[in-house]
Amino acid sequence: MIWSLESAEHFPNKTKFIQEAHRLLKSNGKLVIETWCTKNPHLSRITQFMLSIINYGFHTAAWTSRQEYYQLLKKHNFRSMRDQVWTKDVLPFWRHVIMTAINPYNFFRLASYGPSSLLSSIMLYMGYLTSTIEFVIMTATKI
C-alpha cells in the first residue's frame, strides 16, 4: 500500500507520481491519496489567482481535479477507483486555523513568517466554502 497524505498537492508532476506509485506497488496493491483538488478542471481567472496565492503560501504545485486524477490513474493501469469528499469534515479545522491566526498573540508571531501564510489559509478556507476546492480521499488498485 502507498498512502499519500496531503502530499500530492506538492508534487509538480502528478503523472510521475502516479507512474512511480504504479512501479512500486505489487499487483493488486492499493494507492490511497488524500489531497486538495479543484472541483472543476476548467478554472476561471479569479480561481486561478486564488489558487496562485495558496500555492505561494503553502508551496504547492499545479492544481489537479478529481477528474484529472481519475484519468491519470486509469491511464496507468489502476482500477477499482473510489473517492470520498471530506471537505465538510476539514472545514472546522481551517476555521480554527484562521481564528487562531487572527488572535493578537498569534497574529504577530505569524506575521514574522510573512503575510502569505495567513492569506493562503484564508484563500484555502474560501475555496472550501465556495466549493472551488475539495479535500478528497481517493483509492485505486494496481492491476
pLDDT one-digit tens code per residue, 67-105: 999 999 999 999 999 999 999 998 888 888 778 877 777
pTM, to two decimals:
0.86
Q: Which of 132, 112, 107 is nearest to 53 (CA)?
A: 132
The x, y and z cell numbers of residue 74, run together, are 486509469
Handedness of CA 27, 28, 29, 33 (dihedral sign): positive
Q: With beta carbons less than 8 A apart as the criterion, state whether 140 and 80 touch.
A: yes
Give the pLDDT confidence score for residue 143 in this predicted structure: 93
What are the tens digits of pLDDT across the range 19-71?
999 999 999 999 999 999 999 889 999 999 999 999 998 889 989 999 999 99
Inter-axis angle of helices 115-129 and 87-102, nearest 10 = 150
Segment (H or E) for 139: strand 133-142
